[in-house]
Structure 1
Amino acid sequence: MTHPTPHASLGRDTVAAALGRANLPTLIPVLFQLTGDGRWLAEPYRVTATPGFALHDDGGLPPEVQAEVREAAIDAIVAWHAGQAPAVAEPEGDLLVRLMASAIGEPVPDSLEPLIAEQLGFRPFAAEDVSALAAERPDFNVVVIGAGFSGLAAAVKLKQAGVPFVVIERNPAAGGTWFENCYPGARVDVPSDLYSYSFFPRNWTETFSQRDEIHGYVQAVVDHYGLDEHLRTGTAVESVHWDESTGRWTVTTREADGTGVVIDAAVVVTAAGLHSTPRIPGFEGLEAFTGEVVHSARWPAGTDLRGKRVAVVGTGASAMQLAVAVADEVSEMTILQRAPHWVAPNEHYFSASDDTTHWLFDHVPFYRGWHRFRLYWLYTERTAAALPVDPDAASKGKVVSSLNDAFRRFFTKYLVSQLDGDQELIDKTLPTYPPFGKRLLLDNGWFTMLKKPHVDLLCAGVERLDGNRLVATDGTSREIDVLILCTGFEQQRFLFPLEVKGRNGTDLRAAWEDDDGRAYLGITAPGFPNLFFLYGPNTNPPGGSYLTIAEAQIKYVVSMISTMLSEDLATVECRSEPFEQYNKELDLENDRMVYAQDGVENYYRNTRGRVVTNSPWPVARYAELTRSPDLHDFDVSKRN
C-alpha cells in the first residue's frame, strides 16, 4: 500500500473541509498513528459496529465526539504535511489488532495481524532480488500461462525478483476474465478498492467499477511495471509436457495465424483462472436454431437487442447484471431459472466514487489502507463467519447457525419488501436453501426488473429449441430472436482444455478424473515438478476479493522460485504425504460448510458432490499456510 507525499504548503482550511466528510471509523486509527495518543482507542471514541455494508461515516459517535476527533485529526494531518513524522508508522502485533478493532467497532482475531500488516503496507512482501543468481543460470526461465489478475501479479513479482519470464496469453490483450467479459452491465460485485492489488491502488470512478475501467486498470499495471516486453498475446498454450531427460517443461503454443511454437521452460506457472472456459450446454436443436445465440462471456461487439424477443438462460451474477442492463431495450424477456439466488441490498452498487474520499486517499497518510481494511472486514470476514454449519444447530432451534439464520431473515425481509407482496414472484425468487449455499448476489435492480410486464421468470430449464421457438422443461413455449447463455464456466475442470503431462507421462486431467482437482495448498501436486497453479483447486475464497488470495499464492510461488535459484535446485516436487494430509483436512473442513450440504446445488461441487473450487479456510489462515514455502514438503534435486 503506497502512502501520500507531504505538501508543506497545504492549508488548514483545505484539510478541514475534507475531514468534515471523512469516515470516522477510518480516521481514528489514522489519528492514533500520527499522534501515538492511546486515548483515541478508548471510550468515548470507540465506534459502533457497521450495520450491513453501510459506510457508517459517523461511527455511531455523538456529534460532539465526532467534532473532537475531526479537530484533532486536522491538527495531526497539518503537522504531518509540515514535516512531523508519524508517531507509529508501522504498527504491529497486539497494537495493530487494537487498531483494527478501533476501525470496525468489533473484536478482531489475532490471526489477522500478519495478513493486514502486509496488505496495509506495514510489512509488505518484497520479492528477493535473485537477478545475480539467475544470470549464473542462463537456462533458468519461467513461463506464466494467462495474463489475468493472477498472471500479471506474478509477472510483477517475478520482475522485481529478477527472474527471466514470459507471460503467454491467448487473447489479443491482457485482462483475462476482464478482457473476455464485456457483456452489458458487467462490473465487479466486490468494491473496487478491495478488488485491486494492495501494491497498486487506484482512485476508482465508481464504488463497484464497470468492466471497461477494470480492464483499464489492468493495462495501467502492464504500463507501470513495464510488462509489455514480457507479454506474448494472441498465443494459446495447447500442452505442457515434462521432459524427463532434460528435467524441464516443453510448452507447445499456437499463434493467432496457426503457427506452432515450442518453448522450453524450467518452471511453469498456470494462471488460467477459474472463470476462463465458458460452459456451452448441448441443448437439443441448438445448431438448427434460427435466431442468434450468444454466451455472456463471449459477447459479440455491436450486438443489438432493441425490440427483440430475448431468452436468458441462468440467474447467476452475469445473468443478473446483463438482464437488468438490457431489459428496457428488448420487447420481451424470458428468464429461465434453475434455482434462485440469495440477493443482498447494497445502496452503493451504482454509486460514483466521492472526490473527497480520493482527496483523503491522496493527502492523508494511512487513510486508504484503513479504508481498504474496513472493506475487507465487511465483505470477507463477516460473510465467511456465516458459512460453517453449527453441529448443534438443530438442538438450538437453528437451521445452520445463529448468524446464518439472521442473514436469512434479513435477506428474506428485503426480498419480500422489494416485490410488493407479489406472492407468485416471491415464491419463485425465495431460495429454499440457506444463504451462502451459492454465491451471494448484490441487488442491481433485479427485483424491480422482474416486476416489469414484459419480463417473465420461468422456474424451468431449456427442453429443446425448435426453429425460433424455445420449449422449456415445464412445457412453456416462446418464440425468441436471441438466446443468451449465462451458463457459467467449466469451473470444476481446472485448466481445461489444456493438456498437462508430468512424470512418466502422467496426465493431469486423468489424475484429477476430469473434475476432481486436488493440489497442496491449491498450488502444486506430486508428479508435476516445477509446476505451480494460481487460482487452482480449492482456492476460491469463502468471501470477499480473490486478489487477497492471489497475492498470498504469488508470494509463495515466487519465494519458491527464488529458493530454487538460491539453493541451486533443479527440481522441486510436492511430496505425497503433505499433499494427502492437506486435502484430507480440507475436505473435512469443506464438509462443514453450508455450500456442501445436501440439497444445495452450486458450481463449487463436482459430479461426485465433492467441493473442488472453494477453500474452507479463513483468508488469514490461508495466507498463513502460504506465508513461505517449506522445502520439507518437497522432494528436491540439485543441479548436476
Structure 2
Amino acid sequence: MAGQVDLGPLDQALETAHLPSLSAALVHLTGDRSWLRPEWRPTYTPLSKGETGVPEVEQARMRAAAKAAITDYLTGNVPMAATPGPDLVREMMGFVAGADIPDGYGEFLTDELALDGHSSKDPDWSPELKTVARRLHTLVIGAGMSGLLAAIRLEQAGVPFEVVEKNTDVGGTWLENTYPGCRVDSSNHMYSYSFEPNHFWPQHFSTQPVLLNYFQDVAARHDLRKHIRFGVTVEEMAWDERRAVWKVKLQTPEGPQQVEVNAVITAVGQLNRPRYPQITGRERFAGPAFHSAEWRHDVDLTGKRVAVIGTGASAYQFVPEIAGKVGRLTVFQRTPPWGFPVAHYHEDVPAGMNWLMEHVPFYDKWYRFWMFWMVTDGLLPMVTADPGWNGPSTAVSELNQGFRDMIAMAIAAQAPDRPDLVEKVIPTYPVGGKRSLLDNGVWMAALQRPNVELVTEGIAEITETGVVTADGQARDFDVIIYGTGFHASKFLWPMKIRGRGGADLHETWAGDPRAYLGMTTPGFPNLFMIYGPNTNIVVNGSIIFFSECSVRYILGCLKLLAQTGAVAMEPKREVHEAFNTRVDEGNRLMAWGAPQVASWYKNEAGRVTQNWPFALVDYWRATLTPDPQDFVLTKSAELVG
C-alpha cells in the first residue's frame, strides 16, 4: 500500500476524529486490545457532537499512538491483524458506547455493525429458490428511500419486479420538498443505507440537494431506473381471489393501464400528502399562497409581507432562511415545538473526518455504530410515562421533567431579554409528546429579528388581503406560506384498495389504520407496506433502519411463498389483533400517548396510529423472519372458484 495514500491529512484527521471509534478501528488493524484502556473510555454529554470527557492529555497520547499505527498500516509495514472474536467485539462495543451493552442487544448490534460485510438484512436465497421466485411478480409503489431499498433487495433475491413512481425521478420526499433550509434531522451517517455508506457527507445533517444526490447515486449504482416507470400513479387495485393476483389500475403518461402482479409493496411514506388547515376564507386570498411541501420558487419573497401559518418541522427550517430576505414576517403559531439543542446542526463535517472514513478500515463502521447506539434507545426512558406520576401535566415522569427542564433552559438562554417570547415558545406539553426538532439557535434568532412577529392568537379567517385573528386584528400580506404538515393518518390514500370479498381497505380501517408489524393486514393478501401504521419513531433512531427491517421481513414473506408453494398469505386476525393491542398499550405509556397531548401522531379518535412505542431491538427481533404460524397461507388448490 506504500505510496497509495497521501498521509498529509493524517494530523488534521486525528484532531477531528471520534477517538473511541478510532480506538475500535485500531484494534482491527493491530489486534491489540490495549486500545480499549480505561483512561480512554468515553463519558458522553447528551446531545453533544461527541465530547468524550477524556482529559486532553490522554487524548493527545491516543492520537500520537494512533498516528504511528495508521502510518504503519497505510505504508504497508504492518498487515491487518486477525478478525476480532465475538468476546472482543462485545468489549469494543461497550468501549465505544461508553457503557456496557445490555443483555439482549449483543446479537442485534453485531448484525447492525456487520463487520464481515454481511447482515441479516441481505437476501440469502439459493439458486433453486430464485428459480421458483420468478413467478412472484411484484409491484413496488414509490421510488423514494424505501422503494429504492425494496428494489435493490428484490433484484438481489431474483424476484421480478417493477416500480411505479408519480414523480419524474427517484428521491421521494427529497425530490418533492425543496423549501429553503430543507435538511435531514437524523445524522447522515445514520440516515443512509447500512450497505451504502457515504464517506464524504459535507455536513453532519445534510441539506435536501445532498440527500437527493445520494439516493439518485444509489439508484444509478444499482441500475434501478430500468425497473422504474415515472409519472405513473396507482388509481385502484383489487385482489382477484380466483387467480390470486392484484389487478392494478395505473394512470400513466400514455393513459390508463392495468397490470396484474402477485404481490404489491407500498413505499409511499407517511408524510407525502400536504395538509392545508381548515380556515374560513382560505381560498379567498388574492396573493400567492402555497404549502411548504409545494414551494413556489417563482415567487420572490424579497421585501414582501409574508405570513407563515404553522410552526412544525418545515417552518422551523425555512423561517430562519427567509427572515432576512422578506420585508415583514409574521409567524402564526398554534402549538410550539420542542427544539433539542444540537449546536452542530448546520456544521460541516471536517475534511479530516472524511479522510478517516475513507482510508482507515472499520472506522466508518464504528463511527456509525456509535451514532446508532447514542440514538437507539438511550432517550426512550426520558419519554416513557410513569403510571404513578403525580407531577404537573407538562411532564409524564421525573425523568421526563428533568429532560424538559434541560431543554427549556437551553431555549430560554437564547432570548435572555425577551421573556415574552420565551413564554410563547416553550411548550406546555411533555417533551416527546409531539415531534421534537433540532435547534442550533437559528429559530430563536429569527424570531427576535425586528421584522419578525410571532402571533399565538388563533386565526379567525383569511381574507382577500390577509389574516384576521380571533381578537379581531387584521394583518395584510403579500404572500401566505402554510407549514401545516401532512395527512399523516391517511395511510395509502388516495389509492383505492379492495381485498378479499371486495372489502375496501380505507373503509375497513375507518380512519384507524392498523397492520401487523406495520406491514400486513387480514383480508388483503400479498399486500405489504413499508412505513405503515405504527412504524414511525420519535426519539430513537433513523427511519431508514425501520425500512431496512421491514424490507427484510417482506422479502422473507416472499421467500415463504416460494418455499411453501403458496400463492397468497395474510396475517391471522387473532395475531393481528394481539399485536395491535400490545402496541396500543405501549403507546399509552409514552409521552406521545398521554391524554393531554394532541398531535398528528394520533387519529381523530385519539389513538396513536403512527408510532412504535418499543425499543429498536424489539422491532429488529420481530422482523428477522416471518413465522409461518402467524399467517394464513393459501395454496392454489384452495382458491375460490
Give the TM interval when normalised to the shorter protein.
over 0.9
**Deviation digits for residues 536-573 of structure 1, max 9, x if unmatched?**
00000132311111111111111221222233221111
**TM-score, normalised by the number of residues in structure 1:** 0.94
Partner residue of 2:245? 248
Partner residue of 1:620? 617
3-state SS of the aligned residue for 1:118?
A: helix
Q: Which amino acid aligns with 1:329?
A: K
Label 1:287 to 1:105 Cα distance change in 2 as closer, same or farther (>3 A).
Answer: same
Partner residue of 2:83? 89
Partner residue of 1:518? 514
Give RMSD over aligned pairs.
2.2
Partner residue of 1:99? 92
**Deviation digits for residues 401-440 of structure 1, max 9, x if unmatched?**
3432222111111111111231211111111111111111
Q: 2:629 aligns with which of 606, 628, 632?
A: 632
Pairs within 5 Å for 1:232-247: 232-247=229-244
**Deviation digits for residues 177-215 of structure 1, max 9, x if unmatched?**
111111111111111111111111112111111111111
Label 1:270 to 1:593 Cα distance change in 2 as closer, same or farther (>3 A).
Answer: same
Partner residue of 2:475? 478
Alignment pair present for 1:555 and 2:567: no
- In the aligned structure 1, how far is the partner of 2:349 from the partner of 2:524? 46
Partner residue of 2:33? 38
Q: Using the TM superposition, give the Cα deviation of residue 66 of structure 1 relative to its aligned residue in structure 2, in angstroms.
A: 2.2
3-state SS of the aligned residue for 2:584?
A: helix
Alignment pair present for 1:281 and 2:282: no
Label 1:384 to 1:137 Cα distance change in 2 as closer, same or farther (>3 A).
Answer: closer
Alignment pair present for 1:583 and 2:577: no
Q: Which amino acid aligns with 1:635?
A: V
Contact 2:424 2:456 in 1 (8 A): yes
**TM-score, normalised by the number of residues in structure 2:** 0.94
Alignment pair present for 1:73 and 2:71: no
Q: 1:433 aligns with which of 425, 429, 434?
A: 429
Q: 1:385 aligns with which of 357, 381, 385?
A: 381
- In the aligned structure 1, how far is the partner of 2:494 from the partner of 2:203? 36
Q: Which amino acid aligns with 1:420?
A: P
Label 1:130 to 1:497 Cα distance change in 2 as closer, same or farther (>3 A).
Answer: farther
Contact 2:130 2:157 in 1 (8 A): no
Partner residue of 1:143? 139
Contact 1:144 1:166 in 2 (8 A): yes
Partner residue of 1:55? 50
Alignment pair present for 1:117 and 2:110: yes
Contact 2:134 2:159 in 1 (8 A): no
Contact 1:130 1:562 in 2 (8 A): no
Q: 1:460 aligns with which of 450, 454, 457?
A: 457
Alignment pair present for 1:317 and 2:313: yes
Partner residue of 1:340? 336
Alignment pair present for 1:263 and 2:256: no
Q: Using the TM superposition, give the Cα deviation of residue 582 of structure 1 relative to its aligned residue in structure 2, in angstroms.
A: 0.8
Q: Using the TM superposition, give the Cα deviation of residue 90 of structure 1 relative to its aligned residue in structure 2, in angstroms.
A: 6.0
- In the aligned structure 1, how far is the partner of 2:423 from the partner of 2:380? 27
Identity of aligned residues (%): 37
546-555 or 455-464: which moved more?
455-464
Q: Using the TM superposition, give the Cα deviation of residue 498 of structure 1 relative to its aligned residue in structure 2, in angstroms.
A: 1.1
Label 1:477 to 1:108 Cα distance change in 2 as closer, same or farther (>3 A).
Answer: farther
**Deviation digits for residues 19-73 of structure 1, max 9, x if unmatched?**
34322122122222333333333422322223432231xx322344323323333
Q: Using the TM superposition, give the Cα deviation of residue 631 of structure 1 relative to its aligned residue in structure 2, in angstroms.
A: 0.9
Gaps in structure 2 of 5+ consecutive residues? none
Partner residue of 1:488? 485
163-172 or 413-422: which moved more?
413-422
Label 1:88 to 1:504 Cα distance change in 2 as closer, same or farther (>3 A).
Answer: farther
- In the aligned structure 2, how far is the partner of 1:278 from the partner of 1:561? 33
Label 1:9 to 1:186 Cα distance change in 2 as closer, same or farther (>3 A).
Answer: closer
Label 1:131 to 1:305 Cα distance change in 2 as closer, same or farther (>3 A).
Answer: farther
- In the aligned structure 2, how far is the partner of 1:610 from the partner of 1:562? 34
Contact 2:489 2:603 in 1 (8 A): yes
Label 1:638 to 1:358 Cα distance change in 2 as closer, same or farther (>3 A).
Answer: same
- In the aligned structure 2, how far is the partner of 1:585 from the partner of 1:86? 48
Partner residue of 1:158? 154
**Deviation digits for residues 239-273 of structure 1, max 9, x if unmatched?**
1210111111011110135x101110100001110
Alignment pair present for 1:23 and 2:30: no
342-351 or 27-36: which moved more?
27-36
Q: 1:497 aligns with which of 477, 494, 499?
A: 494
Partner residue of 2:351? 355
301-310 or 244-253: which moved more?
301-310
Contact 1:134 1:140 in 2 (8 A): no
3-state SS of the aligned residue for 1:240?
A: strand
Contact 1:128 1:559 in 2 (8 A): no
Partner residue of 1:3? none
Alignment pair present for 1:405 and 2:401: yes
- In the aligned structure 2, how far is the partner of 1:296 from the partner of 1:428? 23
- In the aligned structure 2, how far is the partner of 1:386 from the partner of 1:571? 42
Partner residue of 2:324? 328
Aligned residues: 630
134-143 or 584-593: which moved more?
134-143
Pairs within 5 Å for 1:87-236: 87=81, 89=83, 92=86, 95-122=88-115, 123-124=118-119, 125-129=121-125, 133-136=129-132, 139-202=135-198, 203-236=200-233
Q: Which amino acid aligns with 1:89?
A: T
22-31 or 112-121: which moved more?
112-121
Contact 1:130 1:566 in 2 (8 A): no
Q: Which amino acid aligns with 1:233?
A: F
550-559 or 7-16: which moved more?
7-16
3-state SS of the aligned residue for 2:139?
A: strand
3-state SS of the aligned residue for 1:463?
A: strand
Q: Using the TM superposition, give the Cα deviation of residue 303 of structure 1 relative to its aligned residue in structure 2, in angstroms.
A: 2.5
- In the aligned structure 1, how far is the partner of 2:533 from the partner of 2:330? 35
Label 1:101 to 1:539 Cα distance change in 2 as closer, same or farther (>3 A).
Answer: same
Contact 2:337 2:437 in 1 (8 A): yes
- In the aligned structure 2, how far is the partner of 1:334 from the partner of 1:620? 44
Contact 1:150 1:271 in 2 (8 A): yes
Gaps in structure 1 of 5+ consecutive residues? 1-5
Q: Using the TM superposition, give the Cα deviation of residue 142 of structure 1 relative to its aligned residue in structure 2, in angstroms.
A: 0.5
